[in-house]
A and B are shown apart, each in its own frame.
Chain A
Amino acid sequence: MPVFRLHHNLGSLRDLEQEVDRLLRNVQLTVHGVRARRKFPAINVYEVDNEYLLTAELPGTQLSDLELTVANGMLTLRGKRADLDHVSESSFRRSERFHGGWERSVPLPERVIEDKLAATFANGVLKIRLPKAVQSPARKIQINADQENPDATESRIDSGSDVSSEVIRPNE
C-alpha cells in the first residue's frame, strides 16, 4: 500500500485542495469587517453644493476632549479617548477598540473660507462644513507688446481656468 500515490499525484492534490476548502468554509472569518486596525479617525470628504463636508468617525470622544484648529490652510483634529483607564489589563477579555490620544491634519483646498468653518458632533460622528470661497470672475490680463517685437500686441491670457473642482487631499 503506497503512502505516496505518485501516479495519482494530481488527484491527491485535488483532494488536498478540497480538504482545505472544506476547512476554510468552516472557519468563521470574524476578523473580516472589524473596523479596528485602521487610521483613527477615518475621514470622508464630500462636496455638497457650495461647500465641502468632512466627516469623521470619533465614537467615544467627549466634546470637551475634541479640539479643532485651522492655520495656514491646515485643519487639525485632535482628541483623546481614555474612558477605560480605570480598567486593569487583566480584566480585559477582549480589546478591539482604539484607546488613547490621536491627531490628524488635513490640508484644506485653497478656495475654502477658513473663517467660516462650522462643525457639529453627534452620535460620535464629527461633521465639518467648509464653505467654498466665491470664485472671482475671470480677469483678462493685457500683455504689453515688447518694443522690439511689435507684432505681439493684443495677445491675451485667459486666467479663468476652472479650479473649483479641486479635491481635498488629506496627508497620509
Chain B
Amino acid sequence: MSDDLIENSGEFEASDADETQSSEETEPRFVFTPPIDIFESEEGLVLHADLPGVSSETLDLQVQDNKLTLFGRVNPPVPDNAELRYQEYEVGDFLRSFILSDEVDHERITASLQNGVLKVTLPRAPRTAARRIEVSPE
C-alpha cells in the first residue's frame, strides 16, 4: 500500500456526522462506510465507491487541504406509510474520507456518479523535471 491515498481515521465522523444529524432532523440516521475499490490507471489513481440510492444532488464530494471526503445522502426509497416486512439491509447515508498525498494533483480531481457508483479520478501531479544547476567557477 503506497502513501498516495490513506484512509482518514476517526475525527471527521465525530464532528461532521453529528452536524448532519442535528440539522432539522431529530430522527437518528445510519451512517455507513461504503465499500470501495482503488486501483491505478494511466490517468492516476481511480476510486470507485458503492453508494446505492445516492444521486448527484445528494452527493457531497469535497477536497479540503489534503483531505478527500465523500458524503452521500440517501432518501428513503419507500413512502412514509410503508411497513417493513422483511429486511436484509438498513437504509442510511454514506461517509468516508481519505488523506491525499502530494503525488495527487488536487486541482484536477474529477468525479462522476452513475447507477449508484461514484468514480473519482485522482491524477498524478506532474513531476517537475530535474533542473541542472550551474556551478560557476570562482
Instruction: List A residues at the B interface (Cβ < 8 Å).
Output: 28, 30, 32-36, 38-39, 42-49, 52-53, 55, 57-63, 83-84, 87, 91-98, 122-125, 127, 167-170
Q: How far is the CA of A129 from the CA of B13 in the complex (A)?
A: 36
Q: A44-B86, A44-B88, A124-B116 are in contact. Are A53 and B53 (CB under 8 A)?
A: no
Q: Which of B66-115 contact A (CB under 8 A)?
A: 77-79, 81-89, 91, 115
Determine chain A's interface SS by DSSP, over half rule. Answer: loop
Asked whether, in the complex, the Cβ of A45 is within 8 Å of the Cβ of B85, the reply is: yes
Q: Which of B35, B84, B117 contacts A36 (CB 8 A)?
A: B35
Question: 9 additional contacts, CB 8 Å, given A33-B32, A48-B82?
Answer: A34-B34, A36-B35, A38-B88, A47-B85, A48-B81, A52-B85, A59-B51, A60-B117, A123-B52
Q: Which of B39-65 contact A (CB under 8 A)?
A: 39-41, 45, 48, 50-55
User: Does B21 have its Cβ within 8 Å of any Cβ on chain A?
Assistant: no
Q: How far is the CA of A47 from the CA of B85 in the complex (A)?
A: 7
Asked whether, in the complex, the Cβ of A93 is within 8 Å of the Cβ of B87, the reply is: no
Q: A55-B78, A93-B45, A97-B50 are in contact. Are A167 and B86 (CB under 8 A)?
A: yes
Nearest-Cβ distance from residue A46 to partner chain B, whole angstroms: 4
Asked whether, in the complex, the Cβ of B32 is within 8 Å of the Cβ of A35, the reply is: yes
Asked whether, in the complex, the Cβ of A84 is within 8 Å of the Cβ of B39, the reply is: yes
Q: How far is the CA of A46 from the CA of B50 in the complex (A)?
A: 23
Q: Which of A38, A59, A83 contacts B116 (CB 8 A)?
A: A59
Asked whether, in the complex, the Cβ of B33 is within 8 Å of the Cβ of A60, the reply is: no
**Chain B residues within 8 Å of A33, by CB:** 31-33
